[in-house]
Amino acid sequence: MHKEIRNTEPTALWNHFADLNAIPRPSKKEECIVAFMVDFGKKLGLETQVDGIQNVLIKKPATKGFENKKTVVLQSHLDMVHQKNNATQFDFESEGIKMNITDGWIHALGTTLGADNGIGVAAIMAVLSSTTLEHPAIEALFTVDEETGMTGAMELQPGFLSGDILLNLDTEDDDEISIGCAGGIDITGATEYPEIKNSREVSFEISISGLNGGHSGMDIHKGLGNANKLLNRVLLQLESDINFNLVSFQGGNLRNAIPREAKAGISLDLSEIQKFDNSFADIIATLTKEFQIQEKNLKIAAVKIDNPQLCMSPDFQKTLLRTIAAIHNGVFSMNAKIPELVETSNNLARITVSKGNLEIACLTRSFSESGKTNLVNSIQSVFELAGFNSKISGDYPGWEPNPNTEICSILQSTYKQLFHEEPNTMACHAGLECGILGTHYPTMEMISFGPTIRGAHSPDEKVNIKSTEKFWKFFLEILKRIPNK
C-alpha cells in the first residue's frame, strides 16, 4: 500500500512523507529523525546545521532570477503525537507508521498518522530536493518537541535564522490562513495517598472507550467526550447508590490529546451486585443518550477482575472523585473580538492513580495571558483544596493576530487567484510555534497554512489527498511571490 501512496500526486511530497513515516519520531525522542534530516541535507550538498536543542536548519540558495527576493524561512516540526488504540500492537520508538488509502484519505492502521506535521516537513523536503522549482533563498527550520513542550521553538537562539518571512506549514484546513494562535501552560496535581486492606468480595474494571478524542485545542469546542470526566461521572453515580472501594484510576495519555479511553478498578460486596447492575445500566443509558450525536461509538463496560489486596481509603476516594468533578474541562470562555473563536480552555488530559500515587495532568490554552492565569489559578485552587501538590510548567506565549502584514496580503491574493474564492483568514485555538519564534525574531513576518487534516492527535488522524495537492500548488505559488528585499 505504501507503493500506492508513493505514486500519488504530488509524488515528490508523498515520497518524502513515506520516508519520514518509516522513521520513529515521537516527541522528546527525535534522535533518529534528526539524524535522518541531517543526512538528507548533506546528501543534497546543502549547508546543514544542528543547534544545541537538536533543531535542524538546512539552507538552499535562491534559484536563478530570485536572488533579490527576501529570504524565506520554511518551518515545520519533526516530532509527532504517539497515540494508538488499545487493541493495536505498536512500538512508536522502533516501528515506522503503517499507512493506507481509503476514500481519498491517507490514514494509519490503528495509530496516529504523523501528518501533523509530517506533511509540512515533506513539502519542505520536496522543495529542498528539487532542481526545477523556483524559489527565493530558503532557510528550512525543522524544530523538535513541538507536541509536548514547544522545546525546539523555546530554545531557538537569536541569530540562528536570518530570514525576513516565516511560512509555518502546520495548519489543518486548506482554506485557512492562520495569523494567530493561543498560548498554553501545563498544570499538574500530584500526591501520595493512603491505601488500606481491601475487605470487599468482588471486583470490576470499569472502562470508557470508543470516543473520538482529537486535538485538545482545535477540537475542544466540539463537545466531544473526555474519557476521564465520563469515567468519573460513572463512579460518582455508583457512589450515590452503592458502597464500593476505588482501587485505581487510569485515563488519557498526552496533554494535547482529548482522552479517548479510561479505566478504573473498584471492589464491592456480593450483596451490592444487583444494585451495582441497576445503577451501572442507568448511567450507561444516560451517557449514551447525552452523547448520541458526538460520540456514537461510546462504550461503557464492566468486567470482573481478580480481587486486589489493597484499595484507597474512603476519605481519599471521596476527595479524588470530587476533585476530578471540580476541574474545569473544555471551553472556558470565547473570544470577544473574533466570532466563534475559543479564548480559553482546559483539557483534563491524564489521570494516573495507582498504588498510593496520584498525578493529574492538564493543558490550559488561551489567547489572553490574563485569561490563562485566571483558569490556572482556578485549577490550582482545586488541587490545593484537595491537599494535592500543584505545579505549572511548559508555559509558552500566544501569537497575536495581525492581518495587516505583507505576507498575509500575498497569501490572500494568491489563494483568491488560484482557487477563485476568499480564504478564511483566522486565528486558531492551538499551539503553533509562531508565537514563540516571534519572541526570538520580533521583526519577522509569520503566517501559517496547510492541507486538510482530520483527527489530529488521535488514531483517527487522516490527511486528504486532493487537499494536499491543493496545498502543494498554493505553497509553490507563494514561493514565487515572495517580495523583493
Peptide bond into 86 cis (omega under 30): no
pLDDT at 1: 53
Residue 163, classed as helix, strand or coil, is: coil
Tell me the three cell numbers of residue 8: 500519488
Task: Give the phi and the psi of residue 145 in degrees, each rounded to 5.
Answer: 55, 40
Low-confidence stretches of the chain (pLDDT < 70) are 1
Burial class (CB in 10 A: 0-12, 13-18, 19+), 248: middle
- CA distances to 14, 35, 59, 467 from 39, in Å: 19, 6, 14, 30
- Chain-centroid distance of CA 314 in Å reads 36
Hey, which residues are catalytic here? 79, 146
- Could you report the per-residue pLDDT of 11-31, keeping only the tens digit for each? 999 999 999 999 999 999 999
Contact call for residues 34 and 124 (beta carbons, < 8 A): no
In angstroms, the CA 134 to CA 111 distance is 36
pLDDT at 98: 95
Q: What Rg value do the Cα atoms of the chain yield, rounded?
A: 24
Q: Would strands 330-334 and 165-168 be described as parallel, antiparallel, or unpaired?
A: unpaired
Same fold, 2-182+398-480 and 185-396: no
Give helix 11-21 / helix 115-129 axis angle, nearest 10°: 120
**Number of neighbouring beta carbons within 10 Å of residue 196:** 12
- CA distances to 344, 365, 371 from 375, in Å: 8, 9, 6
Tell me the three cell numbers of residue 5: 501512496
The domain made up of 185-396 has a fold known as Alpha-Beta Plaits (3.30.70)
The residues pairing with 77 across neighbouring beta strands, listed in sequence order, are 143
In angstroms, the CA 463 to CA 436 distance is 26
Tell me the three cell numbers of residue 166: 516565516
Residue 40, classed as helix, strand or coil, is: helix
In angstroms, the CA 203 to CA 278 distance is 16
- What is the distance in angstroms between the CA of the first residue and the CA of the last residue of the chain? 45
DSSP 265-277: EEEE-GGGHHHHH
Q: Is the dihedral of CA 363, 365, 369, 374 positive or negative?
A: negative
pLDDT at 93: 92
pLDDT at 87: 85
Closest CA to 465 of 118, 120, 103: 103
In angstroms, the CA 253 to CA 260 distance is 9
Q: What is the pTM of this model?
A: 0.81
Closest CA to 84 of 109, 105, 116: 109
CATH superfamily label, 2-182+398-480: Zn peptidases (3.40.630.10)
Strand stretches in 378-466, DSSP E: 389-396, 424-428, 445-448, 453-454, 462-464
Residue ranges per structural domain of the chain: 2-182+398-480, 185-396
In angstroms, the CA 306 to CA 325 distance is 28
Query: Does an H or E element contain 56, and which?
Result: strand 56-60
